Structures are given as structure tokens and as C-alpha cells.
Amino acid sequence: MKPYDIIIVGAGGAGMYAAMEALQTNPGLNIAVVSKVYPTRSHTSAAQGGVNAALANRHKDDTVELHIFDTIKGSDYLADQDAATLLCEMAPYVVREMENLGAPFSRLEDGTIAQRPFGGAQKYRCCYCADRTGHTLLQTLFEQCMRKGVKFFSEYYLLSIEHDGKTAQGIVVMNMQTGKIEAMPAKTVIIATGGYAKMYWQKSSNAAGSTGDGIAAALRAGLALEDMEFVQFHPTGLRKSGLLISEGARGEGGYLVNNKGERFMSRYAPEKMELGPRDLVSRSIEIEINEGRGFDSDAGQYMHLDLRHLGGALIKERLPQIRQLAIDFEGVDPIDEPIPIRPTAHYSMGGIDADINGATAIPGIYAAGECSCISVHGANRLGGNSLLEVLVFGKQAGHHAAVTASSLNPGAISTASVEKIQKEIEGYSHHDRTERYSDLREDLGKTLGANAGIYRTRKKLEKGVADIMEIKERFKKVHVKDASAVFNTNLFQVFELKNMIHLAETVARGALAREESRGSHSREDFPTRDDKKWHKHSIFHMNEAGEVIVSDKPVTMGKHELQERTY
């Protein structure tokens, strides 16, 4: 097979923006987008609240510089300042480009793009399409990719990223419809497979497929991962399911209320209140619950998100999906009753170590979106900066891969690589294997939630590492009962479990090593930020024995000096 110029793994916002930008850079390129789901089912569609850009439509004094500062401050000063600067400088351009491509943003009375306040921002900066922004942007990008003739390989599962140590060679995938393993050669590969927060089991806002496939494949391919210990818990997940209730609900004026009827955020963020950064708001909710000011239920303790004072008309116009989710999954209409919420595992700040062009250490391999760590979010992402990252760095990776592709001439993917994967898969059905996928999956989720959640201690993290290593060993005996070739969901679940186990180890080991509290990483035994010892990025590699090795690298600084983060 002749190599593709670019293979993009992942058909969410970053992957499709990369495809669109690559074709704009060079219309003659042969590009394929590979995804385990159909593009319009990608997790970008679940992003509700909006995308940040200093358009100054609501606050005329908003500037790119303020957006840069808010992003760096929100990151607890762990973001690389060159990356944060590029993110914010590109924001007005990519939002207007999406508008010109047909994205139907909500509007102000003067016809300009509507902007709402979001956590950690000084100004009304978050551009939105009611509360379905990710869904709207994804549909717009899919239409453009179809118009430009992008070739999609839907329902293909990524098994490995191939390179010879000097340049990318392509990927190995399984055709989920046939069970056939296929090598797909490429001059350049862009990984855009999203995050891994679903490994936290039930208390996660993520779709079932957010299992870190691309990040884990990169780790096994010898690429570095960065800052994996930083997992963001969104303050407002539905009590029972963990499904996301957008920050837009608080941006529109929603209150967080405890069982005493108090807007308790006045104790933790007296200036920003409910619009403090997500890490702070999530910790505040946990404190309120732990100190006995939560509501009780069979599904666990929770808080109230009260929207009733906003009125039915505003809720129906600007928060229609939020209302429907509350009705469908909690039996509560927010027009009449408060929504029961609790923090939910939501976003991974860590990912594949990449530069501001999305390039990794191997020429021809790029990463973009939530699977990458460029690092624009540092220790904590601000709401509205995720969809922005998808657009900006999807664009960056697509452009640079298009420029690079013509200069690369990769060797063929080794048949030994394909045979090794085939042998591993055949082994899953061997009769002496006794471990059940469901048992391992539940045990992994439970130990992460208990030991590597919002609050962490050495004792908990040591228990978490030990549990994960035991699960890793048990996985060697996992059994795939389904012998069929066509849509063998049991097999795909095992693939995903393997990826989650590898990434869980990096999260737990990184959290154990980092003896400070910064952003989303909160150590009860090390409650303060330690800039002398820990103002640095964590770096993770996997050695030939399959062991995760932790090292570090410096943070790229700029004009913003370290200072205390208060709201």
C-alpha cells in the first residue's frame, strides 16, 4: 500500500480541524482520518459551555493579554507560557473561522457572537452555541471535511503507532467490522484521540470510549507523556451518573448551595464565587460534604446547583440540554427544583509531550487536543479553553504535518509488528486465562476514585499504585470469551482496559512523586504549592520491560512571574 501523506487518528474536533487545515495548506495531500466511532459521535460533541476568545463583544476592554494571564494563573503557573500565548492569540482567529464556516453561535442583540462568563476569567469571554457548543462545532467541521473529500475510516481501532526511531511509519489498526488487523503506512501521523478520564469508572463525565487509546499507544511506542497526574474533576456532574452539567449553568448565574441554604463559595472564592477555577470549586464541594453540609441520598452525598432564579425562559433558551439531562437522569426540572450535583472526573491536563506545533520527539508524529500536553493548561484547565485547544492545535498540527509530509520517506511497517499484535490477541482466548474483563475494569475504576481522586495522600497513592500493579499482573490472565470476528466488543473492551491500566499507572506514580498541591493535584500531606522543588513538568516513559519511569523537565516561562493564585 502506498503511504498516506497524513493519517489522523481520532475524528473529534482536533482531528477534523487538522484534516481541514492540512488540505487548505496543500489540497493535493492524501489524508485519512481513522476513528473507532463515527465522527459525529466523537466526544467533542459533549462539550457544552463554549470556547474562549478575547473578542470583546460583551466587555470592550477584554484583551488577548488578559486571556493569556488568566490561562497562566488558572494553570497554577505550570503552563508553558509560549504555548498559552499562542493559544490565546489564535483564539479570535479560529472562532471567527468557525463562524465563517457556518457554526451558528448564539448572538447578542447587535448581532455579534454572544459571550458568557466562565470560571477563572476576568471578562465575559466564552463564545457559545446555547449549551451545545461542542456538538455544533463538531458538526460544522464534519461538513467541511466531507466537502473537501477527506477519507474517513470509521470503526477502526488503533493498536499501535509505528516508527523506526527516526521517523513515523504509520499505524496498525483493527477493522472492527471484520476483525482483520491492517497496517496503514503514512509519512506523518497525528494523534487526536482525546482523554482518559473514563478510567475513573462511574463518576466520570466522559463517554465510554474516552479510554486514552492514543496516549497509551504513544507510551508503548516510546514517546514521552507529560503531567499525567493532573486530572480535572468538574464541579458539577449529575449525582447519579456523573454526566456533565456545563459551567455555562454557573456562567448564566446559577448558585451552588449546601444543606444550610448557603452559597458556600463565599468561603473559598469570595470574589469569583461559583466562577472560581474548576479545581478550587470541586475541592470546595468536597470540603462541604466532608464537613457534613451535603445532602444525603442512596446515590451518595451531593450539593445543589440552583437555577430557579434565572427563570424558565432563560433556561429554555440558553441551557436547554442541561434542563433535559436533569429531567432524564435525575427526574428534576431545573426550572422548578435545584439540580443534585457532585464533582465528576472530567478532563486530563496530561498527555503526549508535544511542542507548540504538535510535534513529538519522533519526526512525523504529532499530537493535538486532549490527548496532547503542549502544555497550555498546566495543573488546571480553565473552562472554555478545551474547545479552544482543539481548534488551535488541531490547526497547528494539520498545517505542520502538511508541510512536513513532502520531506519524509518512511520505511515500511515491519511485518513482525503486525504478527506480534496478532499473537497477543490470539492469546486472550486461551483456555488457561481466568480473569474477567468486568472485574478488572471495576477494580481499576474503584481504586482510582478512592486513592487518586480530588484529595490525595501518600498512603492512598501507595495503595493505588499497589492496586494498579496487581491489576496489571492480573490482566495477563484476562480472557476474551467472544470468539467472533465481527464487532467483537469483548475484545475491544480488553484493548481499552489495557490502555487504561497503563495510563492509571502514570497518574498514580506521578501523583505519588509530586509532593505538593498545585491545581487539580491536591495532597493533604503536602497542602501548599512548592515552587522550589516542584515547579516542573512530570515526564513519563515506558522501558522495554513495560515499567513506567518518571522524570521531569522545566516549565517554559515568559513575562508572567510566579505569584500566589487567589480568587
Better-predicted residue by pLDDT, 10 or 241: 10
How confident is the model at residue 411, as a pLDDT?
Answer: 86
For the cut 80, the answer to whether the pLDDT of residue 201 exceeds it is no
Q: Find all residues with CB under 8 Å of 357, minimum gap 6, and list them.
A: 366, 396, 397, 400
415-535 fold? Methane Monooxygenase Hydroxylase; Chain G, domain 1 (1.20.58)
**Cβ atoms of 276 and 234 closer than 8 Å:** no
The pLDDT tens digits for 534-550 are: 999 999 999 988 999 99
Mean pLDDT, rounded, of the chain: 95
Return all residues near 415 (Cβ < 8 A) that are at least 6 apart: none
Q: What percent of the chain has pLDDT over 90?
A: 90
Across 20-29, 101-110, 279-288, 404-413, least confident range: 404-413
d(Cα 131, Cα 332) in Å, to the nearest integer?
18
Please give the CATH superfamily to which domain 4-230+349-405 belongs. FAD/NAD(P)-binding domain (3.50.50.60)
The pLDDT value recorded for residue 207 is 87
Task: Please give the pLDDT value at position 202.
Answer: 67
Q: Could you tell me which residues come within 8 angstroms of residue 425 by beta carbon, excluding any fewer than 6 positions away?
A: 181, 491
Dmax over CA atoms of the chain, in Å, equals 69
| Residue owning grid cell 516561562 | 557
**Tens-place pLDDT, residues 136-170:** 999 999 999 999 999 999 999 999 999 999 999 99
Any idea which residue has 490565546 for its cell? 88
Report domain extents, the chain.
4-230+349-405, 239-342, 415-535
Angle between helices 133-148 and 13-25 (to 10 degrees): 30
Active site residue 433: no
Q: Rounded to whole angstroms, how far apart are CA atoms 333 and 254?
A: 14
Cα 127 from Cα 117, distance rounded (Å)? 9
Residue 363: pLDDT above 90? yes
Q: Which of 451, 488, 454 is nearest to 466 (CA)?
A: 451
Calculate what percentage of the chain has a pLDDT beyond 70.
100
Domain 239-342: which CATH number of 1.10.150.120, 3.20.20.70, 3.90.700.10, 3.60.20.10: 3.90.700.10
Residue 203 pLDDT greater than 90, yes or no: no
- Residue 282 C-alpha cell reads as 470541586
Given 58, 125, 250, 278, the catalytic residue: 278
